[in-house]
Structure 1
Amino acid sequence: MGNGVLRGAVIAVAGAGGPAGRAALVRLAEAGATVVGADNDPARLAEAVDAARYANGGATVTGETVDLLDLDSTRAWATGIEKEHGRIDGLVHLVGGWRGGATFADTDLADWDLLEKLLIRTVQNTSLAFYDALQQSGNGRYLLISASGAAKPTAGNAAYSAAKAAAEAWTLAMADGFRKAGGEEGPRAAAAILVVKALVHDAMRAERPNAKFAGFTDVKDLADAVAGVWNEPAAEVNGTRLWLTEKP
């Protein structure tokens, strides 16, 4: 991290058990942050936490099984982190999920029901639960990982793109809250969106050695971009989209 801005920071990672979550835990721990991961799959979460600890001997990385679809559980998670560590400097939202079809006409609305929970409700709950602590941090960041499809939906991705667009709008409303709270001095915390086309990781490459994954973002590069957001002043990143792929 160069200037060590994350040394001693307390960062929560929602969706820590997936490939992007694992990469984020490793990168943030490497930068000297205390990292607290949450996932709904205890085994996957334990594996991710162990990997991050192993990669960074002595790093403080912990995991908690949290139901992010439940606001009370999410608030309890945030309160617990603050009680234990005295502060919260970030929430990285990596809860993902994809459902889609080949054409617009064969869209299954059951896909929407699932994606609304995974991609929107988890954003609503984490943003509401962590807002006050991030506002008080002095360098708080709420980071949503989104997809370029939110800006340019394709026919078979109506449910996914609409859910991502809603999550983006919600995050930008949070950013406006930080802006208003900051008054003339500018926001003390920031909510921002990192936009990818799709993510790729080593296991995917191993499974499909001939695939090009054109325009995809490696989870390690995403983790670098996430860590880098704390280096930028809150006023410069609040309410912005950071494009890690070409704008559509």
Structure 2
Amino acid sequence: MTDLTGRTVLVAGATSASGRIAVQTLVDAGAFVVAVGHDPVKLEALAEQIDATDTGAPWVTEACDLADEQAVFGLAERLRGDDTRVDGLLHLVGGWRGGGGLAGQTDEDFRFLEGSLTALRHVSRAFDDDLKASDAGRLAMVSSVSVARPLAGGANYAAVKAASEAWMRAVAQGFAKAARDADHPLAAASVVFRVKALQGLEQTLADRFAALWDTDAADVNDTVIDLTT
């Protein structure tokens, strides 16, 4: 198992099924985990489910509306005020709406799906300096294989995921440029995981995310990893 002792990892969307497994996996690996969710009740339930007795690794929950730019940047400042610098960020905010062919791609559904991109933009910007300053910063999100082969009934979903992947590639370019400008080896990486459906791959996702710290940043920055293969 990857040893993440001394690392701080933020999981955005931690109250989902994949979030719970990711938090547990990261805690088991020795990371200090900041589990972020919107609903305090769900965060309380998450706290009751996570077992940190084996490693003794500390972890905390943080209630934050990731669609609120000021709230996200406030969270980043609050963590830095506690001398907490983030080394890793796993973005799990998402959801599915679709069907009905192209005519069924409603604006209401698009705005719902767009929330995941908005949250990604906020958290990646708020913690960009932390990830660049880390000696091994890792940012990852979950996308969909539908980006490569979109269907009419999932056009909204595929469009938002494609935009999210473009954002992640821009973050990757920013990591590379910052390293070049400082004449330092690349230490931060932005990675996209693609799935057909996340259900059943939650543990695989958590393990592959943790394993990013076992790989040189230059080998994984600006890459797409298909978890279905």
Which of the five TM-score ranges fits, normalised by the shorter chain? over 0.9
Q: Aligned residue for 2:227? A: 244
- Number of residue equivalences: 227
8 Å Cα contact 2:98-2:104 kept in structure 1: no
8 Å Cα contact 2:28-2:55 kept in structure 1: no
Give the AA of the match of 2:170.
A
8 Å Cα contact 2:179-2:185 kept in structure 1: yes
8 Å Cα contact 1:115-1:160 kept in structure 2: yes
Q: Aligned residue for 2:212? A: 229
Question: In structure 2, what is the Cα distance between the partners aligned to 1:84 and 1:90?
Answer: 17
Q: Aligned residue for 1:75? A: 73
Question: In structure 2, what is the Cα distance between the partners aligned to 1:190 and 1:38?
Answer: 21
SS of 2:21's equivalent in the other structure is helix
Q: Aligned residue for 2:189? A: 190
**Shift in Å at residue 56 of structure 1?**
4.3
**Shift in Å at residue 144 of structure 1?**
1.1
Q: Aligned residue for 1:130? A: 127
Correspondence 1:148 to 2:145:
yes
Question: In structure 1, what is the Cα distance between the partners aligned to 2:54 and 2:91?
Answer: 22
Percent sequence identity over matched residues?
A: 39
- In the TM superposition, structure 1's runs of 4+ consecutive aligned residues that sit over 6 Å from their partners are none
TM-score where L is the length of structure 2? 0.94
Higher mean C-alpha deviation, range 106-115 or range 7-16 = 106-115
8 Å Cα contact 2:30-2:57 kept in structure 1: yes
**Shift in Å at residue 29 of structure 1?**
0.2
**Shift in Å at residue 54 of structure 1?**
5.1
8 Å Cα contact 2:187-2:217 kept in structure 1: yes
**Shift in Å at residue 147 of structure 1?**
1.0
Unaligned runs of 5+ in 2: none
TM-score where L is the length of structure 1? 0.87
Q: Aligned residue for 2:159? A: 162
Unaligned runs of 5+ in 1: 202-217
